[in-house]
Amino acid sequence: MILKRKSGILLHPTCLPSPDGIGDLGPDCYRWIDFLAESGCKLWQILPLGPTGYGDSPYQCFSAFAGNPYLISPTLLLDQNLLTREDLSDRPVFPLDHIDFGLAIEWKIKIINRAYNHFVKSKSTKSRQEYINFCEKEADWLTDFALFMAIKESLGGGSWDNWPEQLRRRDTDALTMFIAHNEDAIEKHKFRQFIFFKQWSNVKNYAHQKGIEIIGDIPIFIAFDSADAWSHPELFYLGKDGKPTVVAGVPPDYFSPTGQLWGNPLYKWSEHKKQGYDWWIKRFRSVFNNVDIVRLDHFRGFSGYWEIPANMPTAEIGRWVKGPGSDFLKAIQKAFNGLPIIAEDLGVITPDVVELRDTFNLPGMKILQFAFASTPEDPFLPHNYPVNCVAYTGTHDNDTTWGWYKSAPESEKDFCRRYLARSGEDIVWDMIRAIWGSTAAYTLATLQDFLNLDTEARMNYPGRPTGNWSWRFKPGDLSENLCGRIRELNYLYSR
């Protein structure tokens, strides 16, 4: 994929303001898109949109195909007459600057269930037909997902490997009996998906009207406790008890001295190849319906991945295993007549990973925060960027740039100031300016960096299982002054 010179901002929808405790796809999402357009940005990068589970991570979802119901906007449901003002009268008081996930999720589920009850009683044949059409169109994943979630709820939310054996092994009689006794619970989950994708489709269309492309994200691995692992166990290394025999992670690196033990099940790539990568093609198709470009997370795992025995306490002990490589990417390329993919090529990058990326002409990623621990030959320094790459000050996995600078070794701070020929007083914007002025085709920074925020606004600490993903910006943060400052950057550097 050859990129044209553009810029944008990395912000997940959960970070948006809203009256319901967590950012959603309502009016503030449209205001955000207006801000992007007015500032001259043409890209909006988000994290995965799936239904989050343990740890509230968008990289650990209950499905690789479903949407996150917590992003549904009650305000829009009110406009659609699926809620009444009375339905919203018991709304809790939520914090403005972060997400209290427990409180927000409890409220969202309660309010969406109320909308479902109104929908069931509604006499609107148009809405009913839209719902039926959606369920038929998405049946390939939706049927299993809704069933999976309904069973999980009925058993107190536990992981599927601890379900009764007949349900765990998808015994036909057991599933038929469960469906017969739980039709309403299953329909509720289908309804949530129907509403989510309707709201998201409208957001995407509005972004396109404003000249904004959306960069989405495909995590290479799926969560073990997911409809995907339960409904397609043959595609993963799982034992007879349903539990993974080997799991994913990365060895010790920049982020963690003991590596990162992600715990995701690993793919049986031989089985995927035998099926013509059908599951993966469906997964890509699903994501491309929602976004314009995909950041393929942990790209190096397609060349070679770190396999950790399932009983290990850290990721230090494991082995490198060859991935599906070019055979996989050829199948995806053929299915979509191209590869609108950004390769997340960070971490331990070996020549085979570079060869795989460059063979398919995929743009890689450059992180400016990584650039100052080395020499002027460091590939993360702007003067070394190839044109076909995507440059960031930092991503959701990094500290904010101000937080990074404050905590960096003095030698790195000194190199950074010398390189930028700046005093360090406005270091975050100096670093933003450096990548905006580089030859990199795409440049992005987090909204936290544009707001010059400290470490408390950090989105994620890799390797820390809880306490992430909760930052939100406040309604007054998108000032006219900020918009003008970004617009000037985009003008000066032809973005």
Catalytic residues: 297, 344, 397
What DSSP string describes 337-354?
A: TS--EEE---SS--HHHH
Asked if 221 and 298 touch (Cβ cutoff 8 Å), the reply is: yes
Distance, CA of 423 to CA of 425 (rounded, Å): 6
Distance, CA of 324 to CA of 220 (rounded, Å): 12
Closest CA to 167 of 143, 190, 148, 188: 148
- Name residue 139's amino acid: A
Q: Which H or E run contains 308?
A: strand 304-309
Q: Which two tokens stand for residue 29?
A: 């999402």
Distance, CA of 18 to CA of 74 (rounded, Å): 10
Distance, CA of 175 to CA of 79 (rounded, Å): 37
Close Cβ partners of 141 (under 8 Å, ≥ 6 residues apart): 63, 65, 66, 227, 282, 286
Distance, CA of 266 to CA of 307 (rounded, Å): 8
Judged on CB neighbours under 10 Å (0-12, 13-18, 19+), 191 is buried
